Structure 1
Amino acid sequence: MPSASKALDIFYHLIGPFRMLLFSLSFLPGTICSLLLSLQLSTLLFPRRLQSAWFARFWAVAGTNLRINCTPRIKPLIQEAHGVVLDIGPGSGEWLTCFDKERVSKIYGVEPNGDSHVKLRERIKEAGLEGVYVVVPVGVEDVEAWVEKEGEMFLGKGRVDSVVTLFCLCSVPEPKRMIGELYGYLKEGGIWIVHEHVVTKEKGLIARYQAFVDLFWPHFIGGCSITRDTVRWLKEAGSWSKVNLKQPENEPPYQMIPHIMGTLTK
């Protein structure tokens, strides 16, 4: 039988996801009021547009909190990025100040959510990355067409030195296919920097509870899913010369939203 302190810790982890859902829900009324006041009535009529606006408003706060809490373990990872970088789903740019400006030559931030672009561009300026960081306003599946349209000479299949995915593979459509697409952009010797939450390795009650939470999670957290087998999909994307992935040491087995972090080298 677990001690009282451990039982309390388990309970805290069990209710943690629902605390986050309630926090997200608190931003919905403000989003609706803002859209009404700005006469963006069409957004209110389309659930996906409303969800996008809602998530952008929520993530402007939640993303900042996440950055404060996770920077000690994520910053060393991001600083491994070098050369031409493909930054997937940067959102409002919470991690831009972590890039080592001496090591990167060009960063392409693939962010299809236009509601995040204003804040993202502000943070590009704050991070001193103007002229280096380029916002790519499409999904990964449309990057090639965007490159052709814009005439970007540094971005293309087999030309990228570093791919960065931080808290984004959980919400992209068709993640397995997208991971395969991104693998194709990496050059030989290129690295993929990862920090994502993934499906639990535990079986039984923990796995069933996580699956239950995931019935609600995507609707409150911008389409994100917490049950994706991202580690397996990454490993199966292609041939890797080195895989260095691990779960953060401070996460217990009953962590409801476990993470994986590290790098893969092509």
Structure 2
Amino acid sequence: MVSPSKALDIFRRLIGPFHLLLVSLSFLPGTIISLLHPLQLRTLLSPRRLQSAWFARFWSRVGTDIRTNLRPRVGPLIAQAHGVVLDIGPGSGEWLSCFDKSKVERIYGVEPNVGCHGKLREKVKEAGLEGVYVVVPVGVEEIGKWIKKGGEGKSGLGKGDVDSVVTVFCLCSVSQPKRMIGELCGYLKDGGNWIVFEHVVTKEKGFIAWYQAFVDLFWPHFIGGCSITRDTVRWLKEAGSWSKVDLVQPEDEPPYQIIPHIMGVLTK
């Protein structure tokens, strides 16, 4: 028989995703109002641009609390980044303070959501990474084009020239994730490491898998295009010939975790 404490924990984890969706929804009216003054019709009339602005507003507030809760896990991972780094989808820069400044030479923050750039640049200053951290305002598939056009910090960012790739809560929201993972793997040099902390599809079958898929019908629309049912672990393992794969699910996540995570490092 399930104990009352376990039953309560199961209920909390089942209802938790929908609570976060409601929190996200509460930021939509404020986003619309902020776009009305001054009038930004291009964003207001584009569902994709509106969603980006909405998520940027939501994440700039909520991201701080999430960083505080997860820093004991994510911080030590990011601190392993070294040399030339690709920081994919940094958002508003919640994790920038986790980089070890003594290990990194140059960090390229690949963030196409311009709504996040203001906060991101503020975090660059707060983390003492000015002159080291470069905001790349395009998606992964456009990094090469941006470099050729003479983007800031264009030197030293070619295929096979990157020492570390960092993906924290971004592979769940990019379009064509499997293709992007392959693209990023190409930038990583032999001996380089890929640091990961991501949402992934549950390993469970039956009700938990069904319920996760049900939540995912709504989740991407409220959380910036994020999907919680991607088989990211398999795609990462298949992307290259890794000399070492050290990926685990956090120990305190039970089998009935609706939004499970994977964390660790792959070494090329």
Tell me the TM-score normalised to structure 2 length.
Answer: 0.98
Map 1:246-265 onto structure 2 (within 5 A). 246-265=248-267
Gaps spanning 5+ residues in structure 1: where? none
How far residue 148 of structure 1 moved from its aligned partner, in angstroms, is 1.4
The alpha-carbon deviation at position 155 of structure 1 amounts to 0.5
2:177 to 167, 171, 175: 175
CA deviations over 1:214-241 (Å, ceiling 9, x no partner): 0000000000000000000000001000
Q: Does 1:39 align with 2:39?
A: yes
- State whether structure 2 residue 121 is matched by structure 1 residue 85: no
* Alignment of 1:214 onto 2:246: no
Q: Distance in 2 between matches of 1:219 and 1:135?
A: 26
Q: Please give the alpha-carbon distance, in whole angstroms, between the structure 2 residues aligned to 1:199 and 1:153.
A: 37
Alignment partner, residue 119 of structure 2? 119
**Partner Cα distance (2:37, 2:100) in 1:** 41
Alignment of 1:21-40 (within 5 A): 21-40=21-40
Q: Which runs of 5+ in 2 are unaligned?
A: none
Cα distance in 2 for partners of 1:62, 1:256 equals: 19
Instruction: Indicate the residue corresponding to 1:75 in structure 2.
Output: 75
Cα distance in 2 between the residues matched to 1:87 and 1:150: 19
Q: Deviations over 1:187-210 (max 9, x none)?
A: 000000000010000000000000
Which residue identity does 1:219 align to in structure 2? H
CA-CA distance at 1:153 after TM superposition: 1.6
Correspondent of 2:165 among 159, 163, 166: 163
**Displacement of 1:175 after TM fit?**
0.1
SS in structure 2 opposite 1:236? helix
Per the TM alignment, residue 61 of structure 1 is displaced from its structure 2 partner at its CA by 1.0
Percent identity between the two aligned chains: 77
CA distance in 1 between partners of 2:28 and 2:91 (Å):
18
**CA distance in 1 between partners of 2:190 and 2:37 (Å):** 51
Local SS of the residue matching 2:163: strand
CA distance in 1, matches of 2:140, 2:183: 8
Give the number of equivalent residue pairs.
266
**In structure 2, how many angstroms separate the alpha carbons of the residues matched to 1:34 and 1:139?**
25
**What does residue 135 of structure 1 align with?**
135
- 2:58 aligned residue: 58
Letter in 2 for 1:48: R
Deviations 1:69-105 (A, max 9, x none): 0001111000000000000000000000000000000
Instruction: Let me know the Cα RMSD of the aligned residues.
Output: 0.7
- Shift in Å at residue 43 of structure 1? 1.2
What secondary structure sits across from 1:226 in the alignment? coil
Q: d(CA) in 2 for partners of 1:153 and 1:30?
A: 40
Residue 196 of structure 1 corresponds to: 198
By how many angstroms is 1:41 displaced?
A: 2.4
CA distance in 2, matches of 1:235, 1:34: 42
Q: Which residue of 2 aligns with 1:229?
A: 231
Specify the alignment match of 1:96 in structure 2: 96
**SS of the residue 1:250 aligns to:** coil
